[in-house]
Amino acid sequence: MVAKDALMTWDSVFSPIKWDAGRLVLLDQRLLPEQEVWRHYEDATDVAEAIRKMVVRGAPAIGCAAALGLAAAALRYPDDVEGFNRALMRDIELLKQSRPTAVNLFWALEHQQLVARQALEELGADAAKQALEQQALKIWRDDVASCRAMGRLGAELIPERACILTHCNAGALATGGYGTALGVVRAAAESGKQIRVYADETRPFLQGARLTAWELHKSGIDVTVSCDNMAGALMQRGEISCCVVGADRIAANGDVANKIGTYMVAALAKRHGVPFYVAAPRSTIDLGTPTGAEIPIEERPSREVTHIGDTALAPEAVGVRNIAFDVTPAELVTAIVTEVGVAQPPSEQSIRALMD
């Protein structure tokens, strides 16, 4: 166990990320809720591996971790411009290969590449190192500020007494801090609304049962875990006021890629007239992807489905699918909440307006 103070960042917001004198430090989310273990990184290969293996996960958190991880690695690059540049391009490529769906990763790395190359050309390697560190810290800080702003805007959509269903973890743990979907939950609770949360357990990685339950409980917000397949029964019984989820990538037309099972929740919400909200920073919106059909969807190793720890849940030798994300068509989304405004309903027009 780590003392509570150690979990705080400069912003006094709980964050799964720390920056420790030129090293990236990540809370190993695979071990939650049973253990709180922090791991140090200074090499891009290790950071890419941490992203792939889901030590850190959640689109905004992956963006922050990649930016900070690249900055940490760059502090160890050669001081000659050519050597620096070669190492930079290699590490950016490495990090880009870690996971395909969340666009924040690519967004953060492209921003880092731009700023580093400009500093490198104009002022040399030392300046590029500083620029990468400064911008990474800014990306992280801005992400938390975005979550706060999303929270304020999103909380206005939440009734005074609400039972909110969320899927996966789009919380402090999935971001620089505070959370996107759970940022909305937090802001609603902080504004005095009576909030209860149903957390879908979110198979196979159990982000809901392990992470959302852990961080909401820690924050004193009433949280109940249920299996993903219970969402329909809960809505049939009228127990859900609204759904709030995060996003890994939002296409130009408002289609939303998010953790597998999100589409199912949205389809059920539509059937039951339950509002379905997506909270995500603008760095999640990818105008270069016209519709959800063009979003690359990761499939992950079968062992995540067939095993919990060392316990086998299925016979060996049977086939397994582990589709990590699905696409919720814009027509099922009541509103998309960003840090600068709300697209309601989401459409090519309303989304473009947020980006301008």
Give min distance, CB of 224 to a second copy, in A: 3
C-alpha span between 335 and 156 (Å, rounded): 12
The answer to whether residue 210 forms part of the interface with a second copy (CB under 8 A) is yes
Q: Which residue in the set 305, 340, 344, 350 belongs to the binding site for a second copy (CB under 8 A)? A: 305
Q: Does the protein bind a second copy through residue 347 (CB under 8 A)?
A: no
Catalytic residues: 248
The first and second tokens of residue 326, run together, are 């699905």
CB of 57 vs a second copy, minimal distance in Å: 16
Which positions from 25 through 64 interact with a second copy, judged by CB under 8 A? 33-34
What is 20-42 written as a DSSP string?
Answer: ETTEEEEE-TTSTTT---EEEE-
For residue 196, the cross-strand partners are 163, 222
The rounded Cα 87 to chain-centroid distance in angstroms is 27
Q: Distances from the Cα of 98 to the Cαs of 27, 53, 161, in angstroms?
A: 18, 9, 41
Told to check if 312 binds a second copy by CB under 8 A, we report: yes
Q: Which is nearer to a second copy, 192 or 321 (CB)?
A: 321
Identity of the amino acid at 101: T
SS (H, E, C) 270-282: HHHCCCEEEECCH
Of 129 and 259, CB closest to a second copy: 259
Q: What is the 3-state secondary structure (H, E, C) of 106-141?
A: HHHHHHHHHHHHHHHHHHCHHHHHHHHHHHHHHHHH
Indicate the residue among 125 and 242 with the shorter CB distance to a second copy: 242
Among 2, 114, 227, 353, binds a second copy (CB under 8 A): 227
Burial 153-180 (b: 16+ CB within 10 A, else e): bbbebbeeebbbbbbbbbbbbbbbbbbb
With a CB cutoff of 8 Å and minimum separation 6, the contacts of 355 are 282, 285, 287
Of 97, 118, 236, 349, which one interacts with a second copy (CB under 8 A)?
236
CA 162 – CA 71 distance, rounded (Å): 42
Q: How far apart are CA 74 and CA 76, in angstroms?
A: 5
Subset of residues 239 to 298 that bind a second copy, contact rule: CB under 8 A: 260-261, 263-264, 267-268, 271, 297
Size of the site for a second copy (CB under 8 A): 56
The stretch among 57-65, 66-74, 96-104, 314-322 that binds a second copy (CB under 8 A) is 314-322
User: Please, what is the minimum distance in Å from the beta carbon of residue 225 to a second copy?
Assistant: 5
Q: Footprint of a second copy on residues 147-206 (CB under 8 A)? A: 198, 200-204, 206
Residue 144 lies near a second copy (rule: CB under 8 A): no
Q: Which of 14, 77, 84, 214 binds a second copy (CB under 8 A)?
A: 214
Collapsing DSSP to helix, strand or coil, 291 comes out as coil
**Smallest distance, Å, CB 182 to a second copy?**
14
Of 191, 219, 291, 322, the residue at the interface with a second copy (CB under 8 A) is 322
Residues that bind a second copy (CB under 8 A): 33-34, 198, 200-204, 206, 209-210, 213-214, 216-217, 222-234, 236, 260-261, 263-264, 267-268, 271, 297, 305-306, 308-309, 311-315, 317-323, 325-327
